[in-house]
A and B are shown apart, each in its own frame.
Chain A
Amino acid sequence: MSDAVLDSAVHHQTFTAIGQSMPRVEDYRLLTGTAKYLDDIEVPHALHATFVRSPYAHARIFRIQTDQAMAVPGVVAVVTGQDLARWTQPARMAPPIEGLFPMEMTTLPIDKVRFDGDPVACVVAADRYTAEDAAELVMVEYEVLPAVTDMFAAAEEGTPLVDETLSSNLVSHQTYAKGNVAGRFAEADVIVEATFSQHRQTHVPMETRGCVAVWDDGRQHLTFYIGTQVPHPMRTTLAARMGLKETQVNVISPDIGGAFGQKIALYREELTVAALARELHRPIRWREDRMENLRAASHAREDFVKTRAAVTKDGRILALHADLFSDFGAYSFFPANYMIRVVAMLLPGPYKIQDYSYEVKVALTNKCPAGPMRAPMAIASWVTEGTIDAVARKLKLDPVEVRRINMLKQDDLPYLTATTELYEDITPRETLDRAVHSFDYHVRRKEQERLRVQGKYRGIGICSVIESTTYGSEFYRKAGISGTGHEAAWVRIEPTGVVNASAGIMGSGQGYETVMTQAVADGLGCNPHDVAIHLGNTLLAPYGMGSRGSRGAVAGVGTTFLAAQQARIKVLAIAAHLLKLRSSKDLQLTDGQVVLETDGQWRPTGLNLRDIAQTAYLNPLALPDGMEPGIEAHVAYDPPAMTYSNSTHICEVEVHLDTGVISVGPYLVVEDAGTMLNPQLVEGQLLGATALGIGGVLFEHVVYDENGQNLTASLMDYLLPTAVETPEIQMIHMGTPNHRTPAGIKGMSEGGVMGAIGAVCNAVSDALSPLGIVVEQQPLSPSYIKSLVKKASKTAR
């Protein structure tokens, strides 16, 4: 991609499709039941795999007897970790990060199981019912070991080891300091401490995991169907683990029924299915059931943070220190510091805090492995804003005032944070002020006081969010992780003037096909109805890094926009040649028509995109000298090290002291995600993220007992918010473009989670402040709230 194209993408574009709430092109197939999700792909003669899972959190495997299962009619194979070790390579996670210990895992466990639900054997049969029957007959002899279920205990000396190749369960430990933290604490009038404990949650995509592996023995080629956020990295990993070349594997991702970060890693079950397809020379499919998904797919968010703030008596924060601790579960599918490191990085938030230090520890436990879940840094905004509220309480100041005293203003930008992050084009003070104003904050404060006299406990919570969205290659280099942040796209104008395009991202509900269509329409200058987007097939799409974080907009759609602009340059060059103009500088492509500027007016030239395409493909001798036939643009683009969006959430809650029930609402979000590709989709993402955050705060909780048994492996125990509990959310958009990215896009869709956690928790603490209660842990279940109220009333007596 040339600098000129990027420059024009950033600065000189007027949009006709981008910025419109164009209805989604994906919807028809999704609404009519004609979409193809993984389980809808018919593969003739496919066998079905199912997994035998450990009922224990921690146990040695002595023997696995498979003969009874093999005797069931219809069963084709029963395999164990020993078999898979012959057919596949283990996964080694060893990025060169100081304080992070390398970990390795085999495809299935061989010597011991490490959590309730760990897969120990795989049964392959003619159908799923038979496979599940036979799985019941696989006899595994275990020696049960003591389970490590508490992350703090896990890190202590003498605790049984989750991974016996390590000397401790403390798998990762780093410290960081910037400025003169100790000096600042010595100067402080007050030191304010606050504690934040977030519970274990899980993604619960409505479509569980699954895959279909088809091995072509003649071509020695694997076609692997899987709903994955990252088709190309999935292919690279799968090929490596199977000892195949990348040319021998094609990954095809059909429609995905939600992912939320759970569909990034190559899981052990998936690799097992792929390996078995090759060994058995039969197509094999696997669809996990909901219990497996809740028990053994991936968990997230079990983080603990304690902050200490050095504060002046007028509310200025001089320095901040944070101790972070995270429960990583039993295996390493990601670097162990991967998620919690970003939390530590973001904790100074939108505040001017240059003296900052942290210590971050990650422990292994006998629980389901942790992975990134929509906003892996979710706890960060609660911690920052909860600390601000703690300062306000201590100094008896209004929490809005404490925010204003410390918050970055436009004059402070660009701003290099204490963790060397660059903030540009963000508007924290503006979103805060707008939120406070639009929410009638001061009126509600008075009403709150009035209601308290009547015994009603209402509270207002505010949470400003700085949301890291697009991670460029520079970010990965700084973090020491072997990843990149670039993305690739192609745009191809076909002989009839219609346009196919693709990129490496893969959607799971975001509406990528729609916003990429809009980006192509504007980048090229064609009608959106003439554009078709093709994602998720590694032979069709260019190698890209897929969908993770909130990179879809800047990296995925931004790169596609650049590729469309490249294609336009060629289209206009051909047009100029056909019109016998010396250059294309006065030409433009608008809605598929070539127009010429004369005397300040755009006039038709009689040429359209179809004419140009016909020439490019079918009459190449009419092209300018030396120009290649056809019109295809391939672009790779590496976004800035990081892009940031920002927002302020503000909400009111009422806490019912007798039942412990919390009602949430009204709820307002003022957000700034830069140029909105499609406002309706931005709102959809914001609504979904905020609901996911609220559900996490109030209901969702993965519970393990002291033996490491998962007690929440059904949707009757793991409670998702329904339409009744989810409040109506109002939204206001600011739209400050990022000056470094194509079209000024910033990315969004995780900040809603971050803001909801902070806003709801802060509101509940505010509501209960007359009782001296501060919520320090989630979920804010009725029993937790009632226990706090009970304790407070005892103390009061």
Chain B
Amino acid sequence: MNEVPVTLWVNGQTYAVRVSPRKLLSDVIREDIGLTGTHVGCEHGVCGACTVWVDDRPTRSCLMFAIQAEGHAVTTIEALAQHGQLNVLQQALHEEHGLQCGFCTPGIVMTMEAYLHEHPNPTVDDIRDALSGNLCRCTGYQNIVAGVQKAARVFAQNSSGATSAAGNESTHLSEGGREYV
């Protein structure tokens, strides 16, 4: 099939690629741009492993053609940790053992990171509800929920200006925001 030129803006960088118009955004991110942290688990929009942000909104990259992403800012999992430091949510998931095989993890991080920015004080039920669009086969979700709760606490402490009370966790906060988009 004929390829067309597409310019994509991913993690703040511009990528000019030639792809078939039917090529999925997930495949282009992985194969043409070379960012393989976005995982493809079902290719029919159910599992959530391929979640990226398109203009800051969590989006299933397997349900979108790459050409549709032209002119939009795409953010992938690779953008979240900066200078070798996990961001707040990643760190909390690490501490709470909120991942096992890790295949669903990038999608979960992208979904819940965006969720926490819009819902800084979620209840456990809220978190479980927000997480329900991402399938995990390993963890039984409990430790993911604990990780998200922990991250929410750190975000809350940071926004209330309690920098000293937040301890070490707050030092990662500047990397946890979205200024890299």
Contact of A207 with B101 in the complex, beta carbons under 8 Å: yes
A 392-450 contacts with B by CB, 8 A: none
Would you call A744 an interface residue if the criterion is a C-beta within 8 Å of the partner chain's C-beta atoms? Answer: no
Given A27-B94, A726-B141, are A33 and B38 neighbors across the interface (CB < 8 Å)? yes
With a cutoff of 8 Å between Cβ atoms, the chain A residues found around residue B145 in the complex are 723
Query: Bound complex: CA of A258 vs CA of B94, how far in Å?
Result: 18
Would you call A680 an interface residue if the criterion is a C-beta within 8 Å of the partner chain's C-beta atoms? Answer: yes
Would you call A780 an interface residue if the criterion is a C-beta within 8 Å of the partner chain's C-beta atoms? Answer: no
Chain A, residue nearest B79 (CB): A33
Would you call B18 an interface residue if the criterion is a C-beta within 8 Å of the partner chain's C-beta atoms? Answer: no
Would you call A188 an interface residue if the criterion is a C-beta within 8 Å of the partner chain's C-beta atoms? Answer: no
Would you call B41 an interface residue if the criterion is a C-beta within 8 Å of the partner chain's C-beta atoms? Answer: yes
Query: Bound complex: CA of A570 vs CA of B80, how far in Å?
Result: 45
When the two chains form the complex, which single residue of B76, B78, B127, B137 contacts A258, counting CB atoms closer than 8 Å?
Answer: B137
Query: Bound complex: CA of A680 vs CA of B98, how far in Å?
Result: 10
Contact of B37 with A32 in the complex, beta carbons under 8 Å: yes
Would you call B171 an interface residue if the criterion is a C-beta within 8 Å of the partner chain's C-beta atoms? Answer: no
Contact of A31 with B47 in the complex, beta carbons under 8 Å: no
Chain B 129-144 interface 0/1 with A at a Cβ cutoff of 8 Å (1 = within): 1011111111111111
When the two chains form the complex, which single residue of B95, B103, B109, B140 contacts A206, counting CB atoms closer than 8 Å?
Answer: B103
Contact of B99 with A27 in the complex, beta carbons under 8 Å: yes
When the two chains form the complex, which single residue of B43, B77, B80, B131 contacts A722, counting CB atoms closer than 8 Å?
Answer: B131
With a cutoff of 8 Å between Cβ atoms, the chain B residues found around residue A690 in the complex are 140
Specify which of A26, A206, A259, A724 lies most central, judged by the most chain B CB atoms within 10 Å of its CB: A206
With a cutoff of 8 Å between Cβ atoms, the chain A residues found around residue B36 in the complex are 33, 36-37, 39-40
Chain A 265-297 interface 0/1 with B at a Cβ cutoff of 8 Å (1 = within): 000000000000000000000000110000000
Would you call A191 an interface residue if the criterion is a C-beta within 8 Å of the partner chain's C-beta atoms? Answer: no
Would you call B117 an interface residue if the criterion is a C-beta within 8 Å of the partner chain's C-beta atoms? Answer: no
With a cutoff of 8 Å between Cβ atoms, the chain B residues found around residue A680 in the complex are 97
Chain A 712-723 interface 0/1 with B at a Cβ cutoff of 8 Å (1 = within): 001110001011
When the two chains form the complex, which single residue of A23, A255, A681, A692 contacts B94, counting CB atoms closer than 8 Å?
Answer: A23
With a cutoff of 8 Å between Cβ atoms, the chain B residues found around residue A176 in the complex are none
With a cutoff of 8 Å between Cβ atoms, the chain A residues found around residue B149 in the complex are none
Would you call A651 an interface residue if the criterion is a C-beta within 8 Å of the partner chain's C-beta atoms? Answer: no
Specify which of A23, A35, A716 lies most central, judged by the most chain B CB atoms within 10 Å of its CB: A35
A 192-231 contacts with B by CB, 8 A: 204-208
Shortest CB distance A287–B (Å): 8
Contact of A688 with B100 in the complex, beta carbons under 8 Å: yes
Chain A 219-262 interface 0/1 with B at a Cβ cutoff of 8 Å (1 = within): 00000000000000000000000000000000000011111100
Chain A, residue nearest B140 (CB): A691
When the two chains form the complex, which single residue of B37, B42, B100, B138 contacts A34, counting CB atoms closer than 8 Å?
Answer: B37
Query: Bound complex: CA of A214 vs CA of B34, how far in Å?
Result: 21
Contact of A129 with B101 in the complex, beta carbons under 8 Å: no
B 83-137 contacts with A by CB, 8 A: 86, 90, 93-95, 97, 99-106, 109, 127-129, 131-137
With a cutoff of 8 Å between Cβ atoms, the chain B residues found around residue A137 in the complex are none
Shortest CB distance A78–B (Å): 19
Q: At the interface with chain B, which of A339-347, A504-512, A515-523, A608-616?
A: A504-512
Would you call A618 an interface residue if the criterion is a C-beta within 8 Å of the partner chain's C-beta atoms? Answer: no
A 15-37 contacts with B by CB, 8 A: 23-24, 26-37
Would you call A156 an interface residue if the criterion is a C-beta within 8 Å of the partner chain's C-beta atoms? Answer: no
Would you call B156 an interface residue if the criterion is a C-beta within 8 Å of the partner chain's C-beta atoms? Answer: no
A contacts with B: majority SS: loop
Shortest CB distance A318–B (Å): 39
When the two chains form the complex, which single residue of B20, B81, B99, B133 contacts A129, counting CB atoms closer than 8 Å?
Answer: B20
Chain A, residue nearest B128 (CB): A723
Specify which of A29, A37, A509, A680 lies most central, judged by the most chain B CB atoms within 10 Å of its CB: A509
When the two chains form the complex, which single residue of A32, A289, A729 contacts B77, counting CB atoms closer than 8 Å?
Answer: A32
A 121-178 contacts with B by CB, 8 A: 129
Shortest CB distance B84–A (Å): 8
When the two chains form the complex, which single residue of A31, A289, A715 contacts B135, counting CB atoms closer than 8 Å?
Answer: A715
Given A688-B139, A723-B141, are A31 and B132 neighbors across the interface (CB < 8 Å)? no
Contact of B22 with A129 in the complex, beta carbons under 8 Å: yes
Query: Bound complex: CA of A684 vs CA of B138, how far in Å?
Result: 8
B contacts with A: majority SS: loop
Query: Bound complex: CA of A34 vs CA of B131, how far in Å?
Result: 22
Shortest CB distance B27–A (Å): 8
With a cutoff of 8 Å between Cβ atoms, the chain B residues found around residue A683 in the complex are 97, 143
Would you call A628 an interface residue if the criterion is a C-beta within 8 Å of the partner chain's C-beta atoms? Answer: no
Shortest CB distance B56–A (Å): 18
With a cutoff of 8 Å between Cβ atoms, the chain B residues found around residue A589 in the complex are none
Contact of B42 with A255 in the complex, beta carbons under 8 Å: no
The number of chain B residues with a CB under 8 A from chain A is 57
With a cutoff of 8 Å between Cβ atoms, the chain B residues found around residue A37 in the complex are 36, 39, 103
When the two chains form the complex, which single residue of A206, A290, A720, A729 contacts B142, counting CB atoms closer than 8 Å?
Answer: A729
With a cutoff of 8 Å between Cβ atoms, the chain A residues found around residue B47 in the complex are 206, 290, 715
Query: Bound complex: CA of A690 vs CA of B138, how far in Å?
Result: 10
Chain B 22-56 interface 0/1 with A at a Cβ cutoff of 8 Å (1 = within): 11000000100011111111111011010000000
Would you call A687 an interface residue if the criterion is a C-beta within 8 Å of the partner chain's C-beta atoms? Answer: yes
Shortest CB distance A187–B (Å): 45
Would you call B4 an interface residue if the criterion is a C-beta within 8 Å of the partner chain's C-beta atoms? Answer: no
With a cutoff of 8 Å between Cβ atoms, the chain B residues found around residue A691 in the complex are 139-142
With a cutoff of 8 Å between Cβ atoms, the chain B residues found around residue A207 in the complex are 39, 41, 101, 103
Contact of A32 with B90 in the complex, beta carbons under 8 Å: yes
With a cutoff of 8 Å between Cβ atoms, the chain B residues found around residue A204 in the complex are 137
Chain B, residue nearest A40 (CB): B36
With a cutoff of 8 Å between Cβ atoms, the chain A residues found around residue B141 in the complex are 691, 722-723, 726
Query: Bound complex: CA of A555 vs CA of B123, how far in Å?
Result: 42
Would you call A189 an interface residue if the criterion is a C-beta within 8 Å of the partner chain's C-beta atoms? Answer: no
Contact of B136 with A129 in the complex, beta carbons under 8 Å: no
With a cutoff of 8 Å between Cβ atoms, the chain A residues found around residue B95 in the complex are 23
Query: Bound complex: CA of A32 vs CA of B39, how far in Å?
Result: 12
Contact of B138 with A258 in the complex, beta carbons under 8 Å: yes
Contact of A39 with B40 in the complex, beta carbons under 8 Å: yes
Query: Bound complex: CA of A29 vs CA of B86, how far in Å?
Result: 10
Contact of B139 with A290 in the complex, beta carbons under 8 Å: no
With a cutoff of 8 Å between Cβ atoms, the chain B residues found around residue A692 in the complex are 137, 140
With a cutoff of 8 Å between Cβ atoms, the chain A residues found around residue B40 in the complex are 39
When the two chains form the complex, which single residue of B35, B77, B139 contacts A687, counting CB atoms closer than 8 Å?
Answer: B139
Specify which of B77, B81, B101 lies most central, judged by the most chain A CB atoms within 10 Å of its CB: B101
Query: Bound complex: CA of A244 vs CA of B105, how far in Å?
Result: 38
Query: Bound complex: CA of A721 vs CA of B35, how far in Å?
Result: 29
Query: Bound complex: CA of A205 vs CA of B36, how far in Å?
Result: 18
Query: Bound complex: CA of A40 vs CA of B29, how far in Å?
Result: 12
With a cutoff of 8 Å between Cβ atoms, the chain B residues found around residue A30 in the complex are 99, 101-102, 105
Shortest CB distance A261–B (Å): 12
Query: Bound complex: CA of A32 vs CA of B38, how far in Å?
Result: 10
Query: Bound complex: CA of A688 vs CA of B139, how far in Å?
Result: 4
Query: Bound complex: CA of A33 vs CA of B136, how far in Å?
Result: 16
Contact of B128 with A724 in the complex, beta carbons under 8 Å: yes
Contact of A31 with B39 in the complex, beta carbons under 8 Å: no
Chain B, residue nearest A374 (CB): B137
Shortest CB distance A666–B (Å): 13
With a cutoff of 8 Å between Cβ atoms, the chain B residues found around residue A722 in the complex are 131-133, 135, 141
Given A33-B76, A258-B138, are A684 and B100 neighbors across the interface (CB < 8 Å)? yes
With a cutoff of 8 Å between Cβ atoms, the chain A residues found around residue B20 in the complex are 129
Given A206-B49, A687-B139, A723-B144, are A31 and B35 neighbors across the interface (CB < 8 Å)? no
26 interchain pairs, CB-CB under 8 A: A27-B94, A27-B99, A31-B81, A31-B109, A33-B36, A33-B77, A34-B78, A39-B36, A129-B1, A129-B22, A205-B103, A206-B136, A208-B41, A255-B101, A257-B101, A258-B137, A290-B43, A509-B100, A511-B100, A683-B97, A688-B100, A688-B140, A689-B140, A691-B140, A692-B137, A729-B142
Top 4 A-B pairs ranked by shortest CB distance? A33-B37, A30-B102, A257-B103, A691-B140
Given A40-B30, A207-B41, A715-B135, 18 other A-B residues pairs in contact with their CB atoms under 8 A: A27-B93, A31-B90, A32-B81, A33-B35, A37-B39, A42-B34, A206-B41, A206-B138, A258-B101, A258-B103, A258-B137, A290-B47, A510-B100, A688-B137, A692-B140, A716-B46, A720-B135, A723-B141
